[in-house]
Structure 1
Amino acid sequence: MAKIKKGDLVQVISGATQARGGDRGKQGKVIEVLTERNRVVVEGVNYVTKHVKVGQTQRGTKTGGIETHEAPIHISNVALVDPKTKKPTRVGHKVETVEKDGVKKQVRVRYAKKSGENL
């Protein structure tokens, strides 16, 4: 079961610090999860410049040039942020019984473990 999903608030926990031009400590929402490559794309983190060949659309407007967008980073380099404390935390799962239309079903639910000072 995936610990990080699209739309989660995560924090970068490894890499160069922001003082050295890196992204460690930055928080952002997950835009996309690439499960087959174990990577996530986080909003505002790991910006790269991409040179796009100049082209023309149907209307005649020019496209291309230098674009910046977020690149994927490995899922082990981010941690889920606890919504209460706004600190990175570990994720746990617990089984809860949910009743829908008179049918009881057991589902695994994510929850944020207690976030400590050492994370």
Structure 2
Amino acid sequence: MANIKKGDLVQVISGRSQARGGDRGKQGKVIEVLVAENRVVVQGVNFVTKHVRVGQTQRGTKTGGIETHEAPIHVSNVALVDPETKKPTRVGFRNETVTKDGVSKTVRVRYAKKSGKDL
């Protein structure tokens, strides 16, 4: 089971600080999870510029130029944000019994461990 999934709110925990032009401390939503490379794409984090060759669409409008978009970062450089405290936290798993249509089933569920200095 994955610690981080698409749609989760995560915070960058490593790299250059924001004062030095980096992304450490920024929070964003996970747009995409690249399982094979152990990387995630986070909204508003790790922008790169891409030069796109000029072309034409079917209607005749010009495309191309310099575009910016988010690049993937390694999954170890982000931490899941606890929805209650809005601080980065570790992820745990526990077994819970779910009853659906009269059938009980045990499933693994993610939960946010205690975060911050209040441990």
Q: TM-score, normalised by structure 1?
A: 0.97
Residue 117 of structure 1 deviates from its aligned partner by 2.4
Q: How many residues align?
A: 118
List structure 1 segments (4+ residues) > 2 angstroms apart after TM superposition: none
Q: Deviations over 1:6-35 (max 9, x none)?
A: 000000000000000000000000000000
Q: Deviations over 1:45-86 (max 9, x none)?
A: 000000000010001111110000000000000000000000
CA distance in 1, matches of 2:79, 2:62: 40
Task: Tell me, in whole angstroms, the C-alpha distance in 2 between the residues paired with 1:20 and 1:26.
Answer: 13
Q: How do residues 66-105 of structure 1 correspond to structure 2 at under 5 angstroms?
A: 66-105=66-105
- Structure 1 residue aligned with 2:32: 32
Whether 1:49 aligns to 2:46 is no
Matched AA of 1:22:
G
Measured in 1, the distance between the counterparts of 2:38 and 2:86 equals: 24
Task: State the TM-score, normalizing by the size of structure 2.
Answer: 0.97
Partner of 2:62: 62
Unaligned segments of structure 1, at least 5 residues: none
Percentage of pairs with the same residue? 84
Mapped pair 1:9 → 2:25? no
In the alignment, structure 2 segments of 5+ residues that lack a partner are none
Which residue of 1 is the match for residue 109 of structure 2?
109
Structural RMSD (CA): 1.0
